[in-house]
Structure 1
């Protein structure tokens, strides 16, 4: 977090608080959306998603303003290592890595839109007797392409994510392996405590009866519930 905070200060000093503030808010919102889609049975708090967005914005700023940097590849390698290390920490339990990923992607796209800088070029003046060249600043073609593409993808992605959240779609039902992006179980830890709860289910029409195997407590719910919600009910029933 300290390294990401330093990156945020650097970006604000270079681009101003307004643009960086917008990226910070957009990244935090994007991280919260992705977290809400995949972690519907838990609550996570913190600004790490927004901070990851600043890291993503710094990466996109490096890419779109590539010619302005002297140590291009050194800066790129450093950023990639920082991103990889911070995301690797997210696979530990009790860390909301979906917020990190959503914030990083949102900040990465927003950086192409808000952090683009015009670059110098020399223009030949034909009517000058000495063939004088004048230096002026303008945006390169690749910067314009990045800006438009990133803006379209960001807006469409946000709209889709908002619709999924409002409809209560569980991302884990659509992506069976995505939970490994948030936590990878090992012999030293478990990703959640839900594995210790075992329940039996009996469906009758549109009603699902859930019975905890350890204490025989029973509850009724709709048969249309997702697997993650049924598992959450099982944990509550057995606790």
Structure 2
């Protein structure tokens, strides 16, 4: 894989006024070229175009309203009262692999846990997710490479689907937002596990937490699958401890330091501990979640207040299907 090297210059000298040596060392940090995230963006756009082509609104019976942007032909959108996001019908999304509890559990269509990640309900939905993916994902891929970021994206999307299917039984869920929240969760755990190598730690942590809280808060609005957001976030948070661990400060330059100052361990003990705990929790969560899902359990029966995590009723809206 092609990569670029970012270098900081170095030298060896003496502290002013003393005879003790002062070591300034050269470090090289691999900077990957981002290609996976742009490919994922293109793939999502292509899938949406295919969905609109198959939907073919003018050929449907739309007695309750006219297709939007009819000049687009078979790519025109469903009536806004049916889909306010400028997209296809719910039946088209279901046919193409949208997440629907009955079909996953009783129809033995577990593949929907993956395919729903690549579908979007409309142009608005697609644009918001893809812009967020570009802003978050490209920077992460440049820092950690396509393998680790690709794994976090896909596994987080799968984790989002599992939690969503456990709690939403009468809805069709689609979108990449669960995988996006996985990247946000991984950013948070990466900051925690690599705490010692960062400057301005507190500011970075506060900023990231505020962004996460605001995005999760949006999920309490109706028609937003916040369970997918939470499932993706938790999955990515655990994966960050496993996949995004950096060597502790000074490890890469140990060969330039005097023997007495050399760092023997590549990682700190707490990094190994956090990674092990995260791995155990991740495996346990997936095994437990999948067992409950395919046994037909309803997550709301186990947690009577959890439905408020996805929608909070107010005087302006209700939390129906």
For normalisation by structure 1, the TM-score amounts to 0.74
The answer for the alignment partner of 2:154 in structure 1 is 25
* Cα distance between partner residues in 2 of 1:68 and 1:27: 26
Return closer, same or farther for 1:112/1:186 CA change in 2, 3 Å cut-off.
Answer: same
Q: State the Cα distance separating 1:9 from its structure 2 match.
A: 1.3
Conserved in 2, the CA contact under 8 Å of 1:12 and 1:20? yes
The answer for the alignment partner of 1:79 in structure 2 is 208
Return closer, same or farther for 1:168/1:78 CA change in 2, 3 Å cut-off.
Answer: same
Three-state SS of the structure 1 residue aligned to 2:183 is helix
State which of 155, 177, 195 in structure 2 corresponds to 1:66.
195
Q: State the Cα distance separating 1:41 from its structure 2 match.
A: 1.2
User: What is the number of residues matched between the two proteins?
Assistant: 188
* Cα distance between partner residues in 2 of 1:131 and 1:104: 42
TM-align CA RMSD: 2.0
Structure 1: runs of 5+ lacking an equivalent:
194-239
Return closer, same or farther for 1:38/1:132 CA change in 2, 3 Å cut-off.
Answer: closer
* Cα distance between partner residues in 1 of 2:259 and 2:211: 48
State which of 265, 281, 286 in structure 2 corresponds to 1:153.
281
Return closer, same or farther for 1:131/1:169 CA change in 2, 3 Å cut-off.
Answer: closer
The answer for the alignment partner of 2:306 in structure 1 is 178
Higher RCO (CA < 8 A, seq sep 6+): 1
Q: State the Cα distance separating 1:5 from its structure 2 match.
A: 3.5
The answer for the alignment partner of 1:57 in structure 2 is 186
Conserved in 2, the CA contact under 8 Å of 1:121 and 1:138? no
* Cα distance between partner residues in 2 of 1:181 and 1:73: 28
The structure that is strand-richer by fraction is 1
Conserved in 2, the CA contact under 8 Å of 1:64 and 1:146? yes
